[in-house]
Structure 1
Amino acid sequence: MPVQNLVEAQASRAASADLSLIEDMESAVRSYCRSTPVVFTRAQGSCIFDERGNRYIDFLCAAGSLNYGHNDPLIKQALIRYLDDDGILQTLDFATAAKARFLQEFRDTILVPRALHYRVQFTGPTGTNCVEAAIKLARKVTGRRAIAAFTNSYHGVSLGALALTGNRAKRSAAGVSLGDTLRLPYDAYFGPEIDTVGLARKLFLDASSGYDAPAAFIVEAVQGEGGLNCARDAWMRALAALAKDLGALLIVDDIQAGCGRCGTFFSFEAMDIHPDIVCLSKSIGGSGLPMALTLIHPKLDVWEPGEHNGTFRGNNLAFVGATAALEYWRDASFQNGIAHRSKLLHDALSRITNGYMRGHATPVGRGLFVGLRFDSPSRSEAFRRGLLVRGVLTETCGPNDEVVKFMPALNIPEDTLCEAVRQIEACAAEMAQ
């Protein structure tokens, strides 16, 4: 059956009272449920099921907030035990045993083995909250206002984070001016032969360029929403050196690219840099529970008590899930498993782009944060829809949604990963006809 007919059949099957109620009651701002007219009811591991029992392999993982899959047994049991023991759930920033256990696990399992030294700030529970904290602190530390951000960046939709975001459609919804931002070209924005950090250095060091030194540079080592653009190690090191020379801070936004998504816990681990501030959210909560951290070099922790806060910075159930998830990182075999799964997926994408999609798509990304960049948005959307009717859930990204993004769980069973790969190859073969 042609892809278009399969999509129409899927949409017809998806029509339900629940979907109609959501369309009637929920704001027009909704997005995912428009392009995926399915009512989901339950999930386990790397698979989710709709109200009719149809199974989908999840290659989206809630935009990277479910790196360990749905209802991971280790994490779920920790959450159930805590609830059964009447563990305290919401505590602002009061001291709790759950918070202390998380901080100990995070320090001993993640920071110390990587020779990283950070204070942990619990912000409001979303990525944009920890970005807001990071840029506010950078301005407080340096006494400067401007933040340098990059083309194709995405940092959130609250106003400070939105000012740093490159996407025109997202920015246009602000309704106010989005200032105090310097926009710089990301690595390879003009092609791999152009040294964009070198250009930035020239601008900032030229007293007549009009570019004053910023409070901070904020950067994603892999730009998720921007199209899975990957910064080269040397480029990141050059950016870190420029920040240091200018007396500016280096902020790495690891909200989507972190927590193992790029193969290591932090996306920048192999780059020989030490960011001043790191933003973490999404999968840091382990099970999809809202949680966000701003990691701050101790010498920069100059906050006054309560100067930046958030009511739900004390989500203790998320602390419990996060602590349980970090247990995976005690065992080197977990990270080795990510590398193995990454190779399987990368090899498949290479086969597709050298075969069925030659001339129409190229593989992009790193680790289990990869995708196919198509030569047109219409082709990428057709591919996404073709995968949906074949039971693989994905999304598109990039300036024009020209990239189909693949983000399976880090611990997806190999047979499930191979099943999804077969469907991806079948979809490519169908489109090539």
Structure 2
Amino acid sequence: MNVFTALESNVRSYCRGWPAVFDKARGSRIADENGKSYLDFFAGAGTLNYGHNNPILKEELLAYLGGDGVTHGLDMATTAKRAFLETINEKLLAPRGLAYKVMFPGPTGSNAVEAALKLARKVTGRQTIVSFTNSFHGMSLGSLAVTGNGAKRAGAGVPLTNSMPMPFDRYLDENEPDFQWFEQMVLDEGSGLDHPAGVIVETVQGEGGVNVARKEWLQGLANVCRENDIPLIVDDIQMGCGRTGAFFSFEDAGITPDIVTVSKSISGYGLPLALTLFRPEYDVWEPGEHNGTFRGNNPAFVTATAALNTYWSDDVLEKQTRSHGERVETALKHICVEHDARTRGRGLVQGLEFAEPDRAGQVARTAFRKGLLIETAGPQDQVVKLLPPLTTTAEELDEGLDILRSAVEETEEA
């Protein structure tokens, strides 16, 4: 590890918790250069929903590269982009009655958020974006301005403006009407809140600690936005692509956002790709008004198309994700009965929160030593977060959950 310490910036983070040099990966497993295998319940922070080196996607990618397919194309028309646009419309948008335009803003989730914020402001002519406590939307300045985490915000080095935080669902307690507070702020001309240019929300706050918004809360938020001409942006970068069951995490709530950001697992293979989806009437961009060198990642179009055709032509993966999510939730509840913890989540994003914040980090480090990759989340890193690939088998889930249980027990004894 010496070369990384000597040459790489102190900003590196994940490698500190997992001090190994990784070399090979397939499915739900990753191995270090010494051959030790780990179950991966991190999945690239939700980027590898279909597992490492998915063989179906890899075959399509290798065939494309072997045939000298266009690799870099900016936003030029290519056969790979055409196939992706046709497929996303056929498999996802049209069946759900979503007439979204598709924008390729750049290769990262933060690029997609920046485009969404700019578009909401351009459409409305207003400036303030409402976000929520414990939110996370990216590390560039615009997305940081609507992110709640204080440590990440501090890295900006400049004031983060033109945003207003509001309480997320159940931020205060079960009895406080925190959603009604936002509604009153919008309606009251004396509240000090300028009429918002948009509202950005995660249906499940992953980095914020696996905080799940209730369907009723999301529906109420959508209603306030609609009644007050405020564009609703759903950040589906980590919770989309089937993580909660349905492809889009907002589907279960029965709402239709005005703008949706998608990234991470949309390429299916871990290749950089991001989308900003929005209502056709919002397509007020001038040509080139928001551009970028790497907004046309053609190899990612190829694997994304293969992923949509393979996993979203029917509801098999969705049903399996819901079933496996229940399996994980049941196991975590059993852990909670014996230890001072509580669980929450949807589908295959599940969290185990400890009363003692340091405990989560101890559990993650112990799990790594035992052969399981899991990360922590929440404002105090007090939550162990599980994000296994959606293609993880029931046997692999049980294996990983057994390791987790053992790690929890060992840290309690210590």
TM-score range, shorter-chain basis? over 0.9
Match of 2:318 among 314, 335, 339: 335
Cα distance change on mapping 1:158 and 1:113 into 2, 3 Å:
same
Distance (whole Å) between structure 2 residues aligned to residue 324 and residue 376 of structure 1:
44
Q: 2:198 aligns with which of 216, 221, 233?
A: 216
Query: Once the 2 structures are TM-superposed, how far is the Cα of residue 35 of structure 1 from its aligned partner?
Result: 1.6
1:179-238 superposed Cα distances (whole Å, 9 cap, x missing partner) = 000110100001122222211111121111111210000000000100000101111111
With 377-386 and 290-299 compared, the bigger mean Cα shift is at 377-386
* 1:277 aligned to which of 246, 250, 259: 259
Which has the larger displacement, 187-196 or 252-261? 187-196
Which residue of 2 is the match for residue 7 of structure 1?
none
The counterpart of 1:194, out of the listed 176, 199, 206, is 176
Tell me which of 81, 94, 97 is aligned to 2:63: 81
Aligned counterpart in structure 2 of residue 298 of structure 1, from 252, 267, 280: 280
Q: CA deviation at 1:429?
A: 2.6
| Structure 1 match to 2:327 | 344
3-state SS of 1:424 partner: helix
Aligned twin of 1:90? 72
State the partner residue of 1:323. Answer: 305
Map of 1:301-316 to 2, 5 A cutoff?
Answer: 301-316=283-298
Please show how residues 49-60 of structure 1 align to structure 2 within 5 Å.
Answer: 49-60=31-42
Structure 2 residue aligned with 1:61, among 43, 61, 73? Answer: 43
Distance 2:358 2:142 in 1: 32
Q: Which residue of 2 aligns with 1:3?
A: none
Looking at structure 2, the residues matched to 231 and 381 of structure 1 have their Cα atoms a distance apart, in angstroms, of: 25
> Offset at 1:331?
2.3
Counterpart in the other structure of 1:416 = 396
Pick from 108, 129, 150 the counterpart of residue 168 of structure 1.
150
Classify the secondary structure of the residue corresponding to 1:243.
helix
The equivalences for 1:112-123 within 5 A come to 112-123=94-105
Whole-Å separation in 2 of the counterparts to 1:341 and 1:99: 33
Task: Give the structure-2-normalised TM-score.
Answer: 0.98
Q: 2:361 aligns with which of 381, 384, 388?
A: 381
**Equivalences, count:** 412
- Provide the C-alpha distance between the structure 2 equivalents of 1:194 and 1:120, rounded to a whole number of angstroms: 38
Contact 2:60 2:303 in 1 (8 A): yes
The structural deviation recorded for 1:403 is 0.4
Q: For structure 2, which runs of at least 5 residues remain unmatched after alignment? A: none
1:336-387 per-residue CA deviation (whole Å, 9 max, x = no partner) reads 11122111111100111012x1xx2111211101110111221111111111
* Aligned partner of residue 238 in structure 2, secondary structure: coil
Q: Which amino acid aligns with 1:338?
A: T
Once the two structures are superposed, what CA deviation does each residue of 1:14-69 show, in whole Å capped at 9, x if it has no partner?
Answer: xxxxx110111001111111121110001010000001100000000010011100
| 331, 344, 353: which one aligns with 1:364 | 344
Is 1:229 aligned with 2:219? no
Partner of 1:10: none
Instruction: Give the secondary-structure state (helix, strand or coil) at the position aligned to 2:103.
Output: strand
Unaligned runs of 5+ in 1: 1-18
Where 1:307 maps in the other structure, the secondary structure is coil
* Residue identity opposite 2:342 in structure 1: T
Q: Distance in 1 between matches of 2:211 and 2:331?
A: 19
- What letter matches 1:403 in structure 2? V
Secondary structure at the counterpart of residue 30 of structure 1: coil
**For the residues of structure 1 that align with 2:154 and 2:411, how far apart are their CA atoms?**
34
Partner of 2:123: 141
Q: 2:84 corresponds to which residue?
A: 102
Deviation digits for residues 232-287 of structure 1 (CA, Å, limit 9, x no counterpart): 11111111111112211000000001101111100110111110000000000110
The answer to whether the 8 A contact 2:49-2:265 is kept is: yes
Partner residue, 1:5: none
Q: Which residue of 2 aligns with 1:31?
A: 13
* Aligned-residue identity in percent: 50
Indicate the SS of the match to 2:295: helix
Task: Say what the alpha-carbon RMSD is for the aligned residues.
Answer: 0.9
Query: How far did 1:430 drift?
Result: 2.3
**1-structure distance, mates of 2:206, 2:237:** 10
Shift of residue 169 of structure 1? 0.4
Report the counterpart of residue 12 of structure 1 in structure 2.
Answer: none
Q: Are 2:180 and 1:178 equivalent residues in the alignment?
A: no
Checking the alignment, whether the CA contact within 8 Å between 2:244 and 2:322 is kept in structure 1 is no
Cα distance between partner residues in 2 of 1:192 and 1:283: 33
Q: Secondary structure at the match of 1:267?
A: coil
Distance 2:18 2:78 in 1: 40
What secondary structure is seen at the aligned counterpart in 1 of 2:285? coil
SS of 2:127 mapped into structure 1: coil
Q: Report the secondary structure of 1:312's partner residue.
A: coil
| CA distance in 2 between partners of 1:386 and 1:371 (Å) | 17
2:409 is the alignment partner of 1:425:
no
Residue from 359, 369, 375 that aligns with 1:395: 375
Distance in structure 1 (CA, Å) of the matches to 2:43 and 2:66 = 27
Partner of 1:129: 111
Which stretch of structure 1 is more off in the superposition, 77-86 or 373-382? 373-382
